[in-house]
Each structure stands twice: as C-alpha cells, then as structure tokens.
Amino acid sequence: MTSLALVRHGETDWNRERRLQGRADIPLNETGIEQARALAARFDASEWALILSSPLSRAWETARTLSAASGIPLGDPAEELIERSFGSAEGEIVTDAKARWIDSRYPGSETPEEVGERGSRYLTEVARAGIGNVIVVSHGAFIRATVTALTGVDLGGVGNAAIVRLEYSDGTWELANDPVASVTV
C-alpha cells in the first residue's frame, strides 16, 4: 500500500480576499508562511519518501518550507499538479464569479472533470512508481477534483494547509481513516 498526503498550500492574500487564483502566481502571505512551517510537525520523515509540488509559487514555497523543516526530500515541480485554470474568472471575488457565471463554467477555464482526470492520471503514476509514501503540495480545486475522480467522494472545501490522506493498493484508491486534517497557527 502507498499513502499520499495531498496538502493545500498556505494562505495568500487572494485567499484572504476570497478571490479565484487559478493559475495566477500569487505568493504566500505571512500566515501562509507560518502554516507551511507548521505542516512539518504533521509529518514523520521516516514515513515519507518524497515531496512533490505544483510549480506555482504558493505551492512551491509551501513544499520547500515543509521539506526544509522536516528533512523529507523535495522533487522537481510538476506541471500536472498545477491549479485549475479559472479562465476569465481568475482574480474575481468568488461570490461575484458565481453570480456572473451561475453554472461555474467560466469562459476559457478547465472543467473540474478535466482537472480530476489530469490529477488522477498523474497520482496513479506516482503511486505505481514504487517511490514510497509521497506528500503532494497543490491547490484546493485540484485536490477536490482529483479526490472526486479517484474515490467518488466530494470533499467540499479544502482549507489552506489542509492535508487529505489517500491510500493506493492493487489499483484502488481510498480515503484514509480521518482523511482531512489541517494545521492551526
């Protein structure tokens, strides 16, 4: 069995303002940096082989901070872990975007199903590679869509610095017992 911990990056100013970030490269704010440091206490380096990350700075900085504080090796950033593109809605306040596009199908965006397909394909490759247990630092919409694609479970919201644990065995994905945790700073 292989365990994956899907970790959402720490907070950004756009998270605080409730803006759709998508692929906009918004850095962590001070709270996000503290959350990234606090994540290290949640992981025992002897149980985890590698940290992978989206290349967007908010995820990459979370992953680098987690790696430095925990001693778990950090791999190269992976484009497959990048956040969902929200197209024309990127930068919009979430409630404004939902009022403007009631079905949340933003012009020029990726669908949640496309994100889930991309994420499930990549994470299955990672699990089958025999690396061991892997921490994956990514984004809220990516994590939600990928978990739904892999397990059929809709997590709803995924907070900043939340950890979602998945287990892979014999071609099957399952949420771990008590799969969602978060850090408090």
Active site residue 139: no
CA distances from 163 to 26, 54, 77, 78 (A): 20, 15, 19, 19
102-157 pLDDT tens trace: 888 899 999 999 999 999 999 999 999 999 999 999 999 999 999 999 999 999 88
Domain that holds residue 122: 2-181
Q: What is the pLDDT of residue 128?
A: 96
Among 83, 90, 92, 110, the one annotated catalytic: 83
Domain count of the fold of the chain: 1
Tell me the average pLDDT of the chain.
94
Place of tokens 């700073």: 185
- 83 catalytic? Reply is yes
* Size (the chain), residues: 185
Q: What is the CATH number of the domain that holds 99?
A: 3.40.50.1240
